[in-house]
Chain A
Amino acid sequence: MTSHEPDLVSLDELRSVLGAYAGPEDPRERSRRAGWRRFRLLLAAGAVVALVAAGVGIADGFGAFDGIGAAHHPQTGADVLDAKTLAGLRKACPSETVQSFYMPFCHLMSDSARLVGEVPSYGDVYVITDTRGDLCTVFEGGDGSCGPPLSTSHPVTFGAFNPSSTTGGTFVAAGLAMDGVVAVSFTVGGTAVRVPVRNNVWVYSQPSSHATDGRCILAHLDDGTTVTPFPEVPCS
């Protein structure tokens, strides 16, 4: 096909720009902060392999639980992932051996699981690490998120979920917080909320909501200071 349209952007220029902006060949991974829906998908590929291959006490070895007091105890029966959660992980995996790109939930170390709390309507909350030493939060049933361990500059995780955002469902935001973080605040649909932290876990729910995410996220420390853990998330 020959183009005779001198007034239009050329195909070569457009091709060149697309090539320049296509980015690296691997998908970028969100750190710490992501919708649970996504991580249901990320559970895919290899979770079963990882669960079988888990090592005892690996979490402490990698420091994935540093700063999470509620997770620093020997694993007991209560910490073991329940059958429903294991089934959720297994179901989400299309193949046990697909490792084309790194998916944290497919490399979980099951023996590192520690029960740290409960989220209303979602059940138990576990922390668990993977073979790379990421900190993963797993909710009963198999949802959750993974990211680097908490630190003083990133002392909280933030996950948000709304099953019916278009028609108005229950918006739930929850995450982990380091020792010393007393509350997490953020805005939902322009309204500011402040959520207390209990045993390193914070949970917020809002019924009949169209929200899918929170903004202006702040971690409030016990010395009265605040930390902005996700400066890349704008306030508006």
Chain B
Amino acid sequence: MLTLEAILLGLIMGVFYGLMAFGLTLIFGILKVVYFAHGESFMIGAFTYSLLALWLGVPLWLAIPSAIVVGGVVGVIVERLLIRPLYEKFGDWQAMRDEYAIIVTFGLSLFLVNLANQVFGPYPFRGPDLTDVARFEFGPLIVGGHRLAAAVLGGAVLIGAYLFIQHSFGGKQIRAVAQNRFGASIAGIDTRMVSMLVFALAGGLAALSGALLAPLFHASPDVGVLPALKSFVIVVLGGMGSPIGSLVGGLILGVLESLGALYISYTYRDTYAFAILILVLLLRPQGLFGERAREV
């Protein structure tokens, strides 16, 4: 029975992970670089939601979309200021130096965490629960009320995002740029718009994840660091640039962590993700759904 509950909780966590990984895999798809500051979109969403609700009394149905919007806007700003030079100034972006991306986004991550610390102080904020129901009981299984409601909401948005990518015109443009940036621009696609769209989408989804988890994890400046690291693992596990990979990978990681925490060791639960990352990179670097590349 505990196992079943663990799997259920793992799937729920997987939805939240998926929200973060989805946007990140798209960023990888179009840019092929690490974006270390992704966790800060999560953090921004958590703070926006919590503070709007706690300090300004904004109702939940408004606070959640606000968090998404703020996350998206920040994503666009970052793209414009820091990411655009990656591909714009230096022509053929295949020759782009990874070091710039790593250092700039790593520096950005540190900057945002410390900025949040300076502005909000290190006190954690607990955003309000989505529902007043304390817990749902399905027979012997118990799931927290907010947790389940948040997972349902997050899951719906995630499915919506996936459908957007697969079937809408914007989504197809994104996929085209991911496959071949130069070719896509020749075909008339505005690659700059696509980049902004991707960053907005990624930022918004990560912010939603942060907002949904704020009542459980409490918003604090470094709350996004660990979810970001885990979303990297999921992106690699699922295959860099593969949207379906991020969904499946998220669920898999959530369940593995949950079962591992229960049966192997709770103390080291956060290391399982990293162990999985190393294994995947060594054994099957393209992940579950990624394309096999000549060089990784």
A binds B: no
